[in-house]
Amino acid sequence: MKKLLRVTTQDVSLDVLIKGQLRYMNEHGFNVVGVAEDTGRLNSVAIREGIRVINIPMHRDISIIADICSLYKLIRLFHHEQPYIVHANTPKASLLSMFAAWIVRVPVRIYTVTGLRFETATGNFRRILKLMEMITCKCATDVIPEGNGVARTLVSEHITLKPLAKIHNGNINGIDLRYFDRTQDVMARTVGIRKDDVTTFVFIGRMVRDKGINELIDAFCQLNDKYPNTRMLLVGNLEENLDPISPRTKTLIDSNPSIEHVGYQNDVRPWLASSDVLVLPSYREGFPNVILQAGAMGLPVIVSDVNGADEVVISGYNGIIIPRKNTDALYSAMAEMVSKPDLRHTMSSNSRQVIAEKFNQEDIWNAILERYNSYSV
């Protein structure tokens, strides 16, 4: 049985981004081992997925000494485990594991590119991030862009000359349509969250600047002044160290009673089912999972023109695509959702159909399995 090591920077990515996929591969001919920094979830991943897991400390930010230590541990691990495939995603884990796997000469080294941090960086920091991507791609035997947008950026920025082809219709894990559905249990848990007399917008993700939170709060405050029967739910942790939102935005969130920040939620379904529209005004994405989740739950989405957006959203059919960093465009799209409820309801009815046709989870898992099986010994 071929050994497959799936590597992410922290265990939350194994837990959330590729939930279920590790068990599926483990049951279809591969000896799967999960590798990540243990922040408290690694053991639960092992139990749920039925796999062995290994804790390798890794840091999301650049830290030369810590990164060298992580690289050394990965080299030792790969020497010991002798995997046939090392498959990585998330930036730091991908750089370190592809380099380590290249040193050890692991036969198949797969880098799935889910997002490109350099897109929103400037100056020397941008050049460093681009160099990191180039090294990662150079060490990989196979570079898989999560979507067409990522592939275009890799080519236009001269990151790699390797062939680039997304798997299936893109996205790293697809959507479990049985899980993301308005079941009786999910709807029962909306009691106390849902308000039927208002139009509720929801944001789900990390509360950082490059998720467009500053523009989102500015746009919503304008909207709320004109349409008082509106509400904004913010689902996600406020990160104050890496790329924080502005102090002004933080003050607006704390002072506006129509804005509810509920923090990180293990299960976002009740929050989606309690909302009318998802808003994701990010500056950059690889292939935003949350718009798949929202679509499966029957929500139209307002999303910026980031990578992956036009592969999920047909503007005017199941959502609205707006320019990045544009508060006026964001306000206009949100106002349209409030002032045209019939249009919003039509988009809502179209949303789940689009996701079911293109991003069913089992279809994506089968396509990934076929890719694994295509590599010759």
Q: Which two tokens stand for residue 341?
A: 């409820």
Q: Spell out the alpha helix ranges (H) of 4-122.
A: 11-16, 21-26, 42-49, 64-81, 91-104
| Alpha-carbon distance values, 337 to 162, 325, 342 (Å) | 42, 19, 9
Record: fold of 184-358: Rossmann fold (3.40.50)
Comparing C-alpha atoms, which of 145, 139, 247, 262 is closest to residue 200? 262
Comparing C-alpha atoms, which of 207, 208, 218 is closest to residue 256? 218
Q: What is the pLDDT of residues 170-218, one digit of tens each?
A: 889 999 999 999 999 999 999 999 998 899 999 999 999 999 999 999 9
- In this prediction, residue 236 carries a pLDDT of 94
> Please, are residues 300 and 344 in contact by the beta-carbon 8 Å criterion?
yes
Cα gap 289→344, rounded to integer Å: 21
Q: What is the pLDDT of residues 119-132, one digit of tens each?
A: 878 899 999 999 99
Query: Which residue in this structure is represented by tokens 């997304």?
Result: 166
Cα gap 53→328, rounded to integer Å: 47
184-358 has the same fold as 2-174+361-374: yes
Cα gap 248→254, rounded to integer Å: 10
Q: Is the dihedral of CA 364, 140, 284, 261 positive or negative?
A: positive
Q: What is the pLDDT of residues 18-48, one digit of tens each?
A: 999 999 999 999 999 999 999 999 999 999 9
Spell out, as residue ranges, where the chain has pLDDT lower than 50. none
DSSP lists the bridge partners of residue 110 as 87, 142
Q: Show Cβ contacts of residue 158 under 8 Å, excluding neighbours closer than 6 positions.
A: none
Give pTM, 2 decimals.
0.84
- In this prediction, residue 246 carries a pLDDT of 93
Cα gap 2→23, rounded to integer Å: 15
- In this prediction, residue 63 carries a pLDDT of 87
Look up the CATH superfamily of 2-174+361-374.
Glycogen Phosphorylase B; (3.40.50.2000)
| Alpha-carbon distance values, 180 to 167, 289, 299 (Å) | 22, 12, 11
Q: Is 255 exposed, middle or buried (0-12, 13-18, 19+ CB in 10 A)?
A: exposed
**Separate counts of helices (H) and strands (E) for the chain:** 16, 12
Q: Which two tokens stand for residue 161?
A: 């000359």
Cα gap 239→288, rounded to integer Å: 19
The domain locations on the chain are 2-174+361-374, 184-358
